[in-house]
Amino acid sequence: MAPGITTNEVAYMPPSTNSEAPSLYSGRNEKELQENTKKFLANYGTKFSNDVVVGSKGLYVYTASGHRVLDWTSGQMSCLLGHGHSEIVKTIADHAASLDHLFSGMVSPPVISLGERLCNLLPPGLDKAFFLSTGGESNEAAIKMAKVYTGKFEVVGLGASWHGMTAQALGTQYHFGRKGQGPLLPGMMMLPAPNAYRSIFRRLDGSYDWEAELEYGWQMIDMQSCGSLAACIVECIQSSAGMHVLPPGYLAALKKQCEKRGMLLIVDEAQTGVGRCGDIMAIAHEDVVPDILTLSKTLGNGLPLSAVVTSAEIDRVCMERDYCFYTTHVNDPLPAAVGDKVLEIVVRDGLVEHSRAMGKVLHDGLHRLKEKHGCIGDVRGRGLMAGVEIVEDCVTKAPAIDLGREIGDRAYALGLWANLSSHKSFGGTFRIAPPITIREEELREGLEILERAFESTPGTLPLR
């Protein structure tokens, strides 16, 4: 039995992987690659790292300079089973050779199988699915579906949310990306971001009063609304906000508020879905069934694949009202086959239970780190999703963005990538989400590197 897993949990033992750097681009001149990056690649909103990644395998990425780095963000929070998983590789190769892409009005066995497997994993009321490419695309489709079904147009999102770069998804996104393009879509409104660490809504004992905050938020929405509220979209863990978990009971309360106003509830499980948080879907933790569920990232293990899942009744009404989200790559066979294989592996290998067990190891280690360093203001998350917020002072909670960057850079130099917080909007928070195939020894390796990074970075405020 694997260390740290009790007798009533499934012990996941991944196949051994070659720790040597993959050779696909090994030997490329790093300086030339960096020069060509500057010369030919356009900006899309982020600065490129100096290192050029030439390979990935398992839980590691490899740079042109020969640096091996433990990947604690699963790429862009997407490689749920790790890089280069042998069964995923075979599925891609088989379908690239024999069933890759079709006319969008055609259907194929992998799409049918993925729809069946996914809907059977979800509670009744999430009965029918179709498949797209990105999370933004699936949220766009879900919002349009809600508008067509309800006949209304106003959409509510949460502060600090991230839902994508397409027009309607961006309209409900309040973390970043709204500026510089003129008016966004009309009818988009915002509830306060549920932030237990920083919210000003407090009870007399100082605890977070999310009920009062949520009630206040809906009062503001009702005053703004012109009477055409169609939907509310929410993440169960606000990753881009800094890994803030919805308080227990929040999602159920949100659904009641939506039902009261004749709105649909859309849950975006781009990062939380498919076992990441210790449940097959994060909605299972609160036993809440949304009207529409969207998936992306984790479903495709790094390939562009997303899903929109809804009830048979909503699907029926939308079909009668000529709902259309017809794209070039809707229900493509190759990515669908990968998604089907991902779900098969997650269930077959007990990876939901494994994620829950490894999540305990991760969070215990991060809380021990917090006990040693006064610059860690908060540790939060669930399962194999964790946020570590870096502050200048634990009393004032003033963000220490530069210090967080320095710790992240030091960890990277020591061999751990655990930081997507380089932009000021992330507030100096480490966002950790390793592949759910991670073994306990790999978790402890990363925790040890992170501890060394804190200990060797000036200003981390060791506790006395």
As a whole number, mean pLDDT of residues 307-319 equals: 98
Q: What global pTM score does this model have?
A: 0.92
As a whole number, mean pLDDT of residues 80-86 equals: 96
As a whole number, mean pLDDT of residues 63-69 equals: 91
Q: What pLDDT is stored for residue 463 in this prediction? A: 72
The residue out of 329, 348, 367 marking a domain boundary is 348
The answer, yes or no, to whether residue 9 has pLDDT greater than 50, is no
Residue by residue, what is the 3-state secondary structure of 293-348?
EEECHHHHCCCCCEEEEECHHHHHHHHHCCCCCCCCCCCCHHHHHHHHHHHHHHHH
Q: Find all residues with CB under 8 Å of 307, minimum gap 6, and list them.
A: 118, 129, 130, 131, 132, 138, 293, 294, 295, 296, 299, 339
Same domain, 362 and 271: no
Same domain, 110 and 204: yes
Of the pLDDT bands very low, low, confident and very high (cuts 50, 70, 90), residue 421 is low
pLDDT digits (tens, 9 = 90+) for 341-370: 999 999 999 999 999 999 999 999 999 999
Has residue 201 been placed in a domain? yes
The answer, yes or no, to whether residue 219 has pLDDT greater than 70, is yes
Has residue 44 been placed in a domain? no
**Alpha-carbon distance 94 to 147, whole Å?**
39
Contact 269, 293 (CB under 8 A): yes
User: Can you give the CATH number for the domain in which 240 is found?
Assistant: 3.40.640.10
Same domain, 388 and 449: yes
Has residue 71 been placed in a domain? no
As a whole number, mean pLDDT of residues 233-241 equals: 92
- By annotation, the residues acting in catalysis are 162, 235, 268, 271, 297, 431
Has residue 210 been placed in a domain? yes
As a whole number, mean pLDDT of residues 326-339 equals: 97
Has residue 69 been placed in a domain? no
Has residue 364 been placed in a domain? yes
Has residue 432 been placed in a domain? yes
Q: Find all residues with CB under 8 Å of 8, minimum gap 6, and list them.
A: none
The answer, yes or no, to whether residue 457 has pLDDT greater than 60, is yes
Same domain, 386 and 251: no
Q: What pLDDT is stored for residue 21 in this prediction? A: 62
pLDDT digits (tens, 9 = 90+) for 177-189: 888 888 888 999 9
Same domain, 276 and 373: no
The answer, yes or no, to whether residue 420 has pLDDT greater than 80, is no
Q: What pLDDT is stored for residue 20 in this prediction? A: 61
Of residues 29 and 223, which shows the higher confidence score?
223
Please give the C-alpha separations between residue 144 and each of 36, 415, 449, in angstroms, as whole numbers: 40, 43, 45
- For residue 453, give its domain range: 350-464
Has residue 35 been placed in a domain? no
The residue out of 348, 370, 386 marking a domain boundary is 348
As a whole number, mean pLDDT of residues 212-228 equals: 97
The answer, yes or no, to whether residue 77 has pLDDT greater than 60, is yes
Tally the domains of the chain.
2
Q: What pLDDT is stored for residue 16 in this prediction? A: 37
Same domain, 319 and 388: no
Amino acid identity at 246: L
The residue out of 298, 321, 348 marking a domain boundary is 348
Same domain, 416 and 344: no
pLDDT digits (tens, 9 = 90+) for 158-181: 998 888 888 888 888 888 888 888
Same domain, 236 and 279: yes
Of the pLDDT bands very low, low, confident and very high (cuts 50, 70, 90), residue 24 is confident
As a whole number, mean pLDDT of residues 262-279 equals: 97
Q: What pLDDT is stored for residue 424 in this prediction? A: 64
Please give the C-alpha separations between residue 445 and each of 17, 159, 408, 438, 441, in angstroms, as whole numbers: 16, 35, 16, 11, 6
